[in-house]
Structure 1
Amino acid sequence: MSGTAEPSTPTAPALEPFTLRVLTVNTHKGFSSFNRRFILHDLRDAVREVGADIVFLQEVQGAHQTHARRWANWPETPHYEFLADQIWADFAYGRNAIYPHGDHGNAVLSKFPITSYQNRDISILGPEKRGMLHCVLELPSHLGRQLHVVCIHLGLRERHRQRQLELLRHMLDNDIPADATVIVAGDFNDWRRRANAILRGSGLQEVFDSAHGASARSFPARFPLLRLDRIYVRNARRHRPINLHRHPWSRLSDHAPLAAEVSL
């Protein structure tokens, strides 16, 4: 039996994944380990070399009147603005610690527009002031989605960290859509390595743990032993860690930075 074959319908080519690069670093308020040298200018050069689209900063100085008088090369703008200069068009700052001569906290630098942000105080009783800075980023229109990023710095005490991780999970489970892409990064001070299992319940995967079976060693920067810093991802196609050279980072902070590529 003869007949005419139905014309085949062309299949639209699959879209290539959109890949962005992220970096997290505890800036140690612009000073080297043990506060021996003011190295913010060198830190800015190193951050730029990574080519990150989004930068998560902890312990970034907003203002410090005493240091501004003491150091001739102290910038006239807040440190997060100085680091963002002409590279990251948008930035957000969450002030955590306030004292008579200044303040410091967390910041996010972004090459994408930050449409909204909120700094949440997660301090527990005592002198430690901690926060998590939640930003919503507008990605290129063809992706049809927003990106939620959270820059976080947890406490030194185990009991405080457990409560702060509960607050993070509550935000992830209740305040961010379940299908939204999320990146959480920062200084978790999680030397007992308990955060990964806790945050897995909210769908977060730690980039270095997924790739290597353990989070990266990041402290102290010169001879990293403790796995304190993390990059977590939810609802991404794939992610992979980026290896950064020890030089010059080992002399720029007491924490080594972490970087990763995330494909959406």
Structure 2
Amino acid sequence: MTLPRPTPTLEATRPAAEGARLRVATYNIHKGVRGLGPRKRLEIHNLGLGIEAFDADLVFLQEVRLFHHGDARRFDHTWFGWPEQGQAEFLAPEGYEAAYRTNAVTRDGEHGNALLSRWPIGDIGHHDVSDHRFEQRGLLHVRVQWRGVEVHAIVAHFGLIHASRLRQAQRLGAYLREAVPPQAPVVVAGDFNDWGERLDPAFAHAGLVRACRPEGAPRAPRTFPSRMPLFSLDRVYTRGLHCHAITVPRGPAWVRMSDHLPLLVELELA
């Protein structure tokens, strides 16, 4: 499979000014598989190529598996096969550290959030924000040492009901007040399932600003569904950082790998 590298904006193609830019990617990988029934196919190996192509400092991943017995049996004897490692470790490019915590437990396995970091990581935490028993949701909180600055990276995947998402945003705000020093830079990224674009005020109340294109640019980049993107479900919110450039990789290879497109953002300290 020939995978095109993401096509960034002009600003994103320039060398990071004395290393001052933090390149972040967020991607819902759909548990590393696509399709249904006999057409179900393993995409985890192609996803590994895609994540390496991001050349990101931090990669925020959702719907990541540590194990799944059914898919492991199904794909174990295929050409590439089901990875022996958990998907977070398998997808981490050489030299990256991986952090993973489970959100949801299912009949044959589980899935959760992961962070892949080019920079040293410290404490790894998990905060349950499940709103009802039908959806298990959590926040993965990782302290990252980036060029002498401790950045708090939080991977999120919110629920399917707006009222639940609103409460989850409020719980995120409360968690930040309790667990993160008030002056520390924060990056919250993930799949927020916010079809109606209604969560930004709740994040603003938590002191977070949505990374977006420069004023006057077209609407927020759309990432879902990957074949014909109509919604901006995948986002990056920050505190103590501002957005320098933002882009969404496109093309058949990206459409194949997940029902979401990835979002790439370059950040600078505010």
Correspondence for 1:231: 236
Partners in 1 of 2:66 and 2:83 — Cα distance? 11
Pair 1:52 & 2:60 matched:
no
Correspondence for 1:26: 28
**Which protein has the larger Cα radius of gyration, Structure 1 or Structure 2?**
1
Whether the 8 Å contact between 1:206 and 1:215 is mirrored in structure 2 is no
Correspondence for 2:246: 241
1:82 to 90, 109, 115: 90
Partners in 2 of 1:210 and 1:123 — Cα distance? 34
Deviation for aligned residue 1:171: 1.6
TM-score, structure 1 as length reference: 0.87
Whether the 8 Å contact between 2:248 and 2:261 is mirrored in structure 1 is no
Query: What is the CA deviation profile of residues 187-231 of structure 1, one whole-angstrom value per residue up to 9, with x for unaligned ones?
Result: 000001111122122332211266546432111110011121101
Partners in 1 of 2:254 and 2:34 — Cα distance? 10
Deviation for aligned residue 1:87: 3.9
Letter matched to residue 19 of structure 1: R
Matches within 5 A, 1:51-200: 51-71=55-75, 72=77, 73-88=81-96, 90-141=97-148, 145-200=149-204
Correspondence for 2:223: 218
Q: Which is bigger in relative contact order (C-alpha 8 A, separation at least 6)?
A: 2
Correspondence for 1:10: none
Which SS does the other structure have where 2:225 is aligned? coil
Which SS does the other structure have where 2:231 is aligned? coil
Letter matched to residue 236 of structure 2: I
Gaps of 5+ in 2: 1-16
Partners in 2 of 1:109 and 1:250 — Cα distance? 22
Correspondence for 1:12: none
Letter matched to residue 120 of structure 1: H
Across the aligned residues of Structure 1 and Structure 2, the Cα RMSD in angstroms comes to 1.9
How many residue pairs get aligned? The number is 246
Query: What is the CA deviation profile of residues 34-68 of structure 1, one whole-angstrom value per residue up to 9, with x for unaligned ones?
Result: 57321110111011111011100000011011211
Deviation for aligned residue 1:17: 6.2
Query: What is the CA deviation profile of residues 129-164 of structure 1, one whole-angstrom value per residue up to 9, with x for unaligned ones?
Result: 1111011111233xxx20001000000011111110
Partners in 1 of 2:140 and 2:89 — Cα distance? 16
Partners in 2 of 1:232 and 1:192 — Cα distance? 17
Query: What is the CA deviation profile of residues 13-49 of structure 1, one whole-angstrom value per residue up to 9, with x for unaligned ones?
Result: xx95611211110010001255732111011101111
Partners in 1 of 2:156 and 2:48 — Cα distance? 20
Of 130-139 and 212-221, deviating more is 212-221
**Overall identity of the aligned pairs, in %:** 39
TM-score, structure 2 as length reference: 0.85
Which SS does the other structure have where 1:118 is aligned? strand
Correspondence for 1:6: none
Of 32-41 and 120-129, deviating more is 32-41
Whether the 8 Å contact between 1:57 and 1:151 is mirrored in structure 2 is yes
Gaps of 5+ in 1: 1-14
Inter-CA distance 113–135: structure 2 relative to 1 (3 Å threshold): same
Partners in 2 of 1:44 and 1:17 — Cα distance? 25
Letter matched to residue 79 of structure 1: Q
Inter-CA distance 178–98: structure 2 relative to 1 (3 Å threshold): same
Which SS does the other structure have where 1:125 is aligned? coil
Deviation for aligned residue 1:85: 4.4
Deviation for aligned residue 1:78: 0.5
